[in-house]
């Protein structure tokens, strides 16, 4: 599985632009194109959809929950998302608990008091889980959008194109 991808930037969304606005291909060097962090995280999200999403025939949609993918994939998606956000991680280590006795602070203090493999492993696990909790909404939005784009790609490969129903706004598919 390719370890590169793109992500949904919630801060840009709040500013009125979407993460897709942040995709800016970089220049090619001797025939090799480098990908931006945004392209990397999105590409990876689409790979996850291709490998792990489920298709619901009734809804004509793909679904993929962040917590249904393997941990290594959650870790890589989080890493790529953090890179896409210029490594802005000031608060994510706290997850959703900013109290003085949060699990991050407790695990850190335990590790500093008794620096052994067990406390280091516990600290690493707490940080990993908190990062997923903190970015859960953004990562899930990214996966949802990747599911939608994957459906479009699959339907286009089958010779179908999307159009919007004028009465209710639903996206419908029609053959060429």
31, pLDDT greater than 50: no
Kindly state whether residue 143 falls inside one of the protein's structural domains: yes
Tokens of 55: 């298709």
Q: By CB neighbour count within 10 A (0-12 exposed, 13-18 middle, 19+ buried), where does 59 fall?
A: exposed
Residue 4's SS3 state is coil
Kindly report, residue by residue over 42-97, the tens digit of the pLDDT: 889 999 999 999 988 888 889 999 999 999 999 999 999 998 887 877 788 888 88
**Which one has a higher pLDDT value, 30 or 41?**
41
Q: By CB neighbour count within 10 A (0-12 exposed, 13-18 middle, 19+ buried), where does 113 fall?
A: exposed
Matching residue, tokens 């109290």: 99
Range of the domain at 64: 10-89+135-175
Kindly state whether residue 23 falls inside one of the protein's structural domains: yes
Number of domains in the chain: 1
Kindly state whether residue 5 falls inside one of the protein's structural domains: no
Count CB atoms within 10 A of the CB of residue 95: 20
Kindly state whether residue 126 falls inside one of the protein's structural domains: no
Kindly state whether residue 22 falls inside one of the protein's structural domains: yes
Average pLDDT of 17-29? Answer: 42
**Contact (Cβ atoms closer than 8 angstroms) between residue 145 and residue 107:** no
Kindly report, residue by residue over 115-168, the tens digit of the pLDDT: 999 999 999 999 999 999 999 999 999 999 999 989 888 877 877 777 677 777
Interatomic CA distance for residues 132 and 75, integer angstroms: 8
Count CB atoms within 10 A of the CB of residue 82: 18
pTM score, whole prediction:
0.69
Kindly state whether residue 166 falls inside one of the protein's structural domains: yes
Kindly state whether residue 81 falls inside one of the protein's structural domains: yes
Kindly state whether residue 122 falls inside one of the protein's structural domains: no
Backbone φ and ψ for 72, nearest 5 degrees, come out as -60, -35
């Amino acid at each position: 599985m390719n370890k590169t991808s793109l992500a949904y930037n919630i801060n840009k969304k709040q500013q009125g632009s979407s993460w897709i606005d942040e995709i800016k291909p970089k220049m090619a060097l001797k025939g090799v194109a480098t990908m931006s962090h945004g392209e990397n995280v999105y590409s990876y999200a689409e790979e996850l959809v291709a490998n792990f999403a489920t298709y619901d025939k009734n809804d004509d949609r793909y679904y993929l929950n962040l917590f249904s993918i393997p941990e290594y994939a959650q870790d890589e998606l989080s890493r790529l998302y953090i890179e896409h956000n210029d490594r802005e991680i000031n608060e994510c280590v706290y997850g959703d608990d900013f109290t003085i006795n949060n699990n991050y602070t407790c695990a850190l203090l335990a590790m500093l008091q008794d620096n052994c493999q067990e406390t280091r492993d516990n600290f690493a696990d707490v940080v990993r889980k908190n990062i997923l909790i903190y970015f859960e909404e953004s990562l899930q939005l990214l996966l949802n959008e990747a599911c939608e784009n994957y459906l479009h790609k699959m339907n286009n490969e089958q010779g179908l194109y999307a159009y919007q129903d004028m009465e209710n706004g639903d996206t419908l598919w029609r053959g060429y």
